[in-house]
Amino acid sequence: MYPELPLWAASLLIVGGLLALAWSSDRFVLGAASLARNLGVSPFIVGMVIVGFGTSAPELLVSTFSGLGGHTNLSLGNAYGSCIFNIAGILGVAALVRPIAVKRQIRTIAVPLLLAVCGVSLFLLRDNALSRTNALTLLGIFAVVMPLYCKADKSGNDSGDGATLSTALAAMWTLVGLVTMIGASHILVWGSVAVAQFFGVSDLMIGLTIVAIGTSVPELASAVAAARRGEPELVLGNIVGSNLFNTLAVVGIAGAISPSDGFSKYVMMRDLPVLTLTTMAIWIFGRAGKDPDGKGRISRVEGLIWLLAFIAYTCVMICQEKSITGV
């Protein structure tokens, strides 16, 4: 997927990609939060639509090219693996930076919606096949669900305490930050793949680790920046939007381009069940009433639990894949 590079060039790409992500994610979150205030739109909706969908562009591109090449396992692994990392990895890190407040709309609408999508995916893919009909069904659900959810969210303009820019300046920084983040994420993945190849790591391990996590770097960068700025709705909106986009649009587009009569059994035995459980954990960790003030909040301890669970899942995944391929 990426041309080979000498080690020095790959190292420069990694450093440059990280620096570009650090700058662009801060600009992007500042712009998105300001747009929410200026337009009177719920910050959660802005985070879900702009941040969540926009930062899922790497997954969409990778899965689209994988579908064109007939590699359904790569498409599904990229989509579902990114969703799991979004919750267990990114929300875990964001909660360590600052505990995340969880509003009622997230517990009563967003999380049940994500769980319903997981259930539909488990049902449609139960025969370990992704037909064009199933793919179009997922895309149809996506087209219906998103407008309905945006209409159902009646929360006001109550974003965090960050600075507010003019609408034009906010839109500019949102666009510049998004484009830079996407480009920087690909530079980072390219450099990481080249380093892994230089040290003799198999292509399978590269796909399971660097590429899957690398395409989620924009979500990680924007979520950490949002948590640092005190924008909890942008953090959760980012994850909800990205996971809805990945499970419905990314999988749907990949399946519509290249239907599959069979994919890895571990998608149904491991990945989708883990995604369902980590999604349910958002509600469990963020339930109302567990804090003295009666509000829902994901604590630093719960963020650490997510990270440890993700490490355990990754270890199991690698061991299972190694047992299949013999690498």
Q: Which stretches of 52-166 are DSSP H helices?
A: 53-54, 57-68, 72-84, 92-97, 104-105, 111-124, 132-152
Of 76-90, 119-133, 225-239, 245-259, the poorest mean pLDDT is in 225-239
Q: What is the pLDDT of residues 40-68, one digit of tens each?
A: 776 666 666 666 666 666 667 666 766 66
Q: What is the pLDDT of residue 261?
A: 82
Contact criterion met (CB below 8 Å) for 89 and 214: no
Contact assessment for residue 307 and residue 89, using Cβ atoms and an 8 Å cutoff: yes
DSSP lists the bridge partners of residue 260 as: 130
What integer is the mean pLDDT of 176-181?
86
In the block, tokens 């198999």 appear at 202
**Contact at 8 Å (CB) between 256 and 265?**
no
Summarize pLDDT for 124-169 with one digit per residue, the tens. Answer: 999 988 899 999 999 999 888 877 766 655 544 444 444 568 889 9
**Diameter of the chain measured on Cα atoms:** 57
How many angstroms separate the CA atoms of 33 and 127, rounded? 42
Range 224-241 average pLDDT: 76
Is residue 220 pLDDT above 60, yes or no?
yes
Helices 72-84 and 57-68: crossing angle, nearest 10°? 160
Compute the distance between CA of residue 105 and CA of residue 120 in angstroms, rounded to an integer.
21
> Distance between CA atoms of 101 and 104, rounded to whole angstroms?
10
Q: Cα–Cα–Cα angle for 47, 271, 62, nearest 5°?
A: 60
Burial pattern 183-208, b for ≥16 Cβ within 10 A else e, equals bbbbbbbbbbbbbbbeeeeeeeebbb
- Between 179 and 157, where is the model more confident? 179
pTM summary value: 0.75
Name the one residue in this structure whose structure tokens are 């894949």.
321
Identify the residue whose tokens are 């990694």: 14
| Average pLDDT of every residue of the chain | 79
Residue 52 DSSP class: I
Q: Pick the more confident residue, 104 or 251.
A: 251
